[in-house]
Structure 1
Amino acid sequence: MQPAIAILDAEELDANAWRPSSCTGWPASSRSRVVVAIAGLVRAAGGGETLLARAGAISSLHTMRYWSTTDQQWRPLFLDAAALAGPAEGEQRWGDFRPSELMAGRTAYFWANDSRSGSVVYGMRVLERSPQRIVLGEENVSPVRALGLTVFRPTALQTVVFAQRQTNDVWGLYILARIDRQASSFVASGHEASTANRALALFRYLADIPTDAEPPAAR
């Protein structure tokens, strides 16, 4: 079943005076160019440990596919990815993060070769972790560049994942993704559909379902 999806651009966000809730870990004063919200139920046999294992499986990120509104076809989100020992791209690379390593308050770093923008380092912070609820925040630690220009400064791309146990192995999964207002308007404007499709790919990846299943969030 397709999860519920909402896409809000800057005009709509300003009209509703939207500000991020404190539970996201985002600054309340931050202003967004686009916000995407995705919510649905997923099955996770093994509970939170299973979801954390999926989130920590960095080497599998190259399997994620999203619908490109530019190319009008499914394409890989990342060409390669690896866990890092620290926040710099030159840090030692190692295996995937185990659930036991993803403890509340810790930030795990990973490198990804984005199929559009090339090498980017991300930080994944465990905001909450309990048998009933998991909250993960993710943001770019390094700048995102295109055509020799910085189009997204550090922390301009942020995602937060809320996972709440419902019954037995059924969890409610809620994802918020945003582009900061200070991101380059040259790239960020009109990219609401792309942001939504990338967020949907993450939802499906965590839900362990095909990421290129029809339909995409937007065409």
Structure 2
Amino acid sequence: MRALSRALVVLALVAAAHAASAEDLSDPAASLEESEPSCPPEIVPPWPEEGDEPDYLGWADGAVPLAAIASCTSWDGWQPTLVVSLAGVFRLDGGVNALLARLGGISGFAGVKYWSFYNRDWTTMIKSASALKSADAKARREDFTAAELGDGAPRYFVQHDNRSTGGTVYRLRVTERSDDLLRVEVENVTKVSFLIVTAYQPRDLRSVHVFRRAGPRLWRYFGLAGMRASGVSVLGRASATNRTVAIYRHLIGVPTDQEPPAALE
């Protein structure tokens, strides 16, 4: 009788583990409604398998689907000249607070690398980065905590990347947050200069990052990165795609210079 009881306990534990595993491995190719319901399917890349590289789409100039993008962002009336969308599936322990901690760890973005279409090599994209007390680039402070980002107030950081001369101040704000969803919007609040040329005016570099839980430790990511060049653009579609993938890799804890590059041409 005791042997039978032990066998039943073992079977129950195995069944529970199997159920948890099945839930954790929920289909990453599920419908758009389960991932980012507000965005039209024409701007959402196919969902990759867990562990695969993110999939992406890109549009430039007159091909940018402005109406579709405006329908699920706060970009209504803004006309970007280049947009990249990204879809990824990844595992993460710690839930939304872990995501907020990674987003708030601004100093950790320094050293992020991407595949440079121009250099044909892995290149440091972000030379330095710091959280700010305000929109003043000199008001530097320690990294943001998960609690600070999670309250929904605008937060500011300064970042110096390899395609700008000097630092650029950005505003970051959590616009939606629950145990199963995190939505973050980022935009530049100071101009981006390259040598003596203004490449991007304030608010002309924008991104939206949506993380949605697909299982106990499984998450789907959907992101949009848009830019509107002011005169001469310093980024083409391949470089913009690779830079977007680099940020995604950093956020999910993958080496940013991991082979293979996303866009080679």
TM value normalised by structure 1: 0.91
Alignment partner of 2:242 out of 197, 204, 207 = 197
Unmatched 5+ stretches in structure 1: none
1:101 to 135, 148, 154: 148
Could you say which residue in structure 1 is the equivalent of 2:47?
Answer: none
Between Structure 1 and Structure 2, the one with more helix by share is: 2
Shift of 1:88: 1.5
Matched, 1:211 2:256: yes
User: How far apart in 2 are the matches of 1:104 and 1:18?
Assistant: 30
- 1:63 Cα deviation from its structure 2 partner: 2.9
Distance 1:191 1:124 in 2: 24
Q: 4+ residue runs of structure 1 moved beyond 4 angstroms?
A: none
SS for the counterpart of 2:87 is strand
CA distance in 1, matches of 2:170, 2:131: 10
Task: Tell me the distance in 1 between the aligned counterparts of 2:95 and 2:184.
Answer: 15
Instruction: Considering Cα pairs closer than 8 Å and 6+ residues apart, tell me whether 1 or 2 has the greater RCO.
Output: 1
Unaligned runs of 5+ in 2: 1-51
Q: CA RMSD in A?
A: 1.5
Q: What is the match of residue 21 of structure 1?
A: 70
Q: Considering fraction of residues, name the structure with more strand.
A: 1
Equivalenced residues, count: 212
Q: How far apart are 1:104 and its partner, in Å?
A: 4.5
Distance in 2 between residues matched to 1:173 and 1:6, nearest whole Å: 14
Task: Quote the Cα distance in structure 2 between the aligned partners of 1:158 and 1:210.
Answer: 24
1:187 to 233, 236, 239: 233
| Deviations 1:139-179 (CA, angstroms, capped at 9, x unpaired) | 11110001212110001000110000110011101110001
1:157-211 Cα distance to aligned partner (Å, 9 max, x none): 001100001100111011100012xx224225x6111111110001111111011
**Structure-2 separation of matches of 1:130 and 1:31:** 30
**Percent identity of equivalent pairs:** 35
Q: CA deviation at 1:22?
A: 4.8
Whichever of the two has the greater Rg, that structure is 2
Match for 1:145: what amino acid?
S
> Taking structure 1 as reference, are residues 198 and 151 closer, same or farther at Cα in structure 2, changes over 3 Å only?
same
For residues 258 and 74 of structure 2, the distance between their equivalents in structure 1, rounded to whole angstroms, comes to 31
Distance in 1, Cα, partners of 2:238 & 2:119: 13
Task: State yes or no: 1:12 paired with 2:36.
Answer: no
